[in-house]
């Protein structure tokens, strides 16, 4: 497993794959638990949070909803459908480090919201599926960007197992499915892979 190296070129103390795996399970698991807690509150409030904090495309106050819409879901079934892929993809991304995970998650979150705000339908959009598509696309392309053979192998395995979900980025006749959120998340994941590749390639500054 390739790890992000410390400035000295070696992983820092305790920065092992096992340690990252434990932290990844804790961070990703805590995020998923947060989503379920929010959904329970939302259910108790008859999903009124969706009307207040769901993303309303092309509305001025809807810009702030970009920060909240992935935390909400239409119902418990909707959240459950996102849970397993979010845990799997989030965990695999976290194995490359907290900075990588935050970058991929933030890019997926923001670009997904921006795309929905610009070209989304007339209904309010909620759900973490944009994050799922973003983390998935990040895992698919980063190996080719980084020219890392083990990441390319992982990309192939993931594509064979979950590649069919990419049909979700195509316009659909089902009005309750936000293909715009899926597309934006996928674009965000690719952007994150490119950004992180650029940072890895920069030489370290040397003081005199």
Q: How many CB atoms lie within 10 A of CB 144?
A: 13
Active site residue 129: yes
Long-range contacts of 53-56 (CB under 8 A, 24+ apart): 54/124, 54/125, 54/126, 55/113, 55/116, 55/117, 55/120, 55/124, 55/125, 55/126, 56/124
| CA 9 centroid distance within chain | 28
Measured in degrees and rounded to the nearest 5, phi and psi for residue 86 equal -65, -40
Q: Considering 73, 155, 178, 182, which one is annotated as catalytic? A: 182
Q: Considering 96, 112, 129, 178, which one is annotated as catalytic? A: 129
Active site residue 178: no
Residues marked as catalytic? 129, 182
């Amino acid at each position: 497993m390739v790890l992000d190296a410390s400035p000295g070129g070696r992983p820092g103390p305790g920065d092992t794959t096992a340690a990252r795996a434990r932290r990844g399970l804790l961070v990703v698991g805590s995020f998923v638990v947060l989503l379920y807690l929010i959904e329970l509150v939302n259910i108790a409030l008859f999903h009124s949070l969706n009307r207040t904090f769901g993303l309303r495309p092309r509305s001025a106050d809807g810009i702030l909803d970009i920060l909240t819409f992935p935390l909400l879901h239409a119902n418990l079934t909707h959240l459950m459908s996102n849970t397993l892929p979010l845990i799997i993809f989030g965990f695999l991304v976290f194995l490359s480090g907290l900075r990588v995970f935050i970058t991929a998650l933030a890019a997926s979150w923001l670009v997904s919201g921006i795309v929905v705000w610009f070209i989304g339908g007339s209904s309010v959009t909620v759900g973490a599926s944009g994050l799922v598509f973003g983390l998935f696309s990040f895992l698919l392309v980063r190996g080719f960007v980084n020219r890392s053979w083990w990441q390319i192998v992982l990309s192939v395995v993931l594509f064979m197992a979950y590649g069919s979900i990419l049909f979700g980025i195509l316009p659909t006749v089902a009005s309750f499915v936000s293909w715009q959120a899926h597309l934006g998340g996928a674009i965000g994941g690719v952007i994150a892979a490119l950004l992180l590749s650029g940072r890895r390639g920069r030489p370290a500054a040397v003081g005199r």
